Structure 1
Amino acid sequence: MNDVLTFGETMIALRGSGPLKLGGSLDISIAGAESNVAIGLTRLGHPVRWAGAVGDDEAGQLVLRTLRAEGVDLGAATVDPGAPTGLMLFEPRLPDLTRVHYYRAGSAGSRLSPEAIERAFAAASPRLLHLTGITPALGPAPRAAADRALRLAREAGVQVCLDVNYRSRLWDSAVAGEVMRSWAPYVDVLIASDDELPLAAPASAGSELADQVKPLLDLGIREVVVKLGAGGARVHTATGELHRPARTVRVVDPVGAGDAFVAGYLSALLDDAELPARLDRAVTTGAFAVASHGDWEGAPTRAELPLLSAESGTVLR
Structure 2
Amino acid sequence: MSPGTAPDPDVDAAIDVVGVGEAMVLMQAADLGTDDRFEVHVAGAELNVCAAVARLGLAAAFASRVGADPHGERVRRAAEALGIGTSLLRTDPARRTGVFFKEIRADGARRVHYYRDGSAASAMDASDAAAVLAASPRAIVVSGITAALGEGPAELVRTLCRATGALVVLDPNLRPALPVPDLRPLLPYTGLLVLGQDESQALLGETDPGRVFAAAREAGAGETVLKGGPDGVWFAGPDGSPRHLPSAARTVRDPVGAGDAFLGGYLAARLSGGSPEGAATVGTLLAARVVETPGDTAGLPPAAEARTLLARCVTAAGTG
TM-score, length-scaled by structure 1: 0.88
Instruction: Give 1:62's aligned residue.
Output: 74
Q: 1:150 aligns with which of 161, 165, 176?
A: 161
Instruction: Give 2:11's aligned residue.
Output: none
Cα distance between partner residues in 2 of 1:247 and 1:215 = 28
Unaligned ranges ≥5, structure 2: 1-13, 310-320
Instruction: Give 1:115's aligned residue.
Output: 127
- Please tell me whether the aligned partners of residues 184 and 219 of structure 2 are also in contact (alpha carbons under 8 angstroms): no
1:50, CA displacement in angstroms?
Answer: 1.0
Q: 2:167 aligns with which of 145, 159, 171?
A: 159
- Please tell me whether the aligned partners of residues 133 and 163 of structure 1 are also in contact (alpha carbons under 8 angstroms): yes
1:199, CA displacement in angstroms?
Answer: 2.8
Cα distance between partner residues in 1 of 2:302 and 2:278 = 16
1:247, CA displacement in angstroms?
Answer: 0.7
Number of matched pairs:
294
Instruction: Give 1:295's aligned residue.
Output: 296
- Please tell me whether the aligned partners of residues 44 and 300 of structure 1 are also in contact (alpha carbons under 8 angstroms): no
Q: 1:141 aligns with which of 146, 152, 155?
A: 152
Instruction: Give 2:188's aligned residue.
Output: 185
- Please tell me whether the aligned partners of residues 181 and 199 of structure 1 are also in contact (alpha carbons under 8 angstroms): no
- 1:19-49 superposed Cα distances (whole Å, 9 cap, x missing partner): 2112321011100000011111111111012
1:96, CA displacement in angstroms?
Answer: 2.8
Instruction: Give 1:210's aligned residue.
Output: 210
Aligned pairs (5 A) from 1:1-150: 1-16=14-29, 18-122=30-134, 124-150=135-161
The residue type equivalent to 2:296 in the other structure is D
Cα distance between partner residues in 2 of 1:207 and 1:136 = 23
Unaligned ranges ≥5, structure 1: 308-317
Cα distance between partner residues in 2 of 1:209 and 1:69 = 37
- Note closer, same or farther for the CA distance 1:301–1:263 as it changes in structure 2 (3 Å cut): farther
1:300, CA displacement in angstroms?
Answer: 2.2
The residue type equivalent to 1:274 in the other structure is S
TM-score, length-scaled by structure 2: 0.87
Cα distance between partner residues in 1 of 2:207 and 2:169 = 24
Cα distance between partner residues in 2 of 1:268 and 1:95 = 36
Cα distance between partner residues in 2 of 1:112 and 1:299 = 29
Of 102-111 and 229-238, more deviation after overlay is shown by 229-238
Please state whether the residue corresponding to 1:145 is helix, strand or coil: helix
- 1:173-217 superposed Cα distances (whole Å, 9 cap, x missing partner): 4xx2xx21111111011111101012332xxx5564433321211
- Please tell me whether the aligned partners of residues 200 and 206 of structure 2 are also in contact (alpha carbons under 8 angstroms): no
Cα distance between partner residues in 2 of 1:276 and 1:236 = 8
Cα distance between partner residues in 2 of 1:212 and 1:264 = 22
Cα distance between partner residues in 1 of 2:129 and 2:301 = 29
Please state whether the residue corresponding to 2:297 is helix, strand or coil: coil
Cα distance between partner residues in 2 of 1:270 and 1:35 = 18
Cα distance between partner residues in 2 of 1:113 and 1:288 = 35
Instruction: Give 1:315's aligned residue.
Output: none
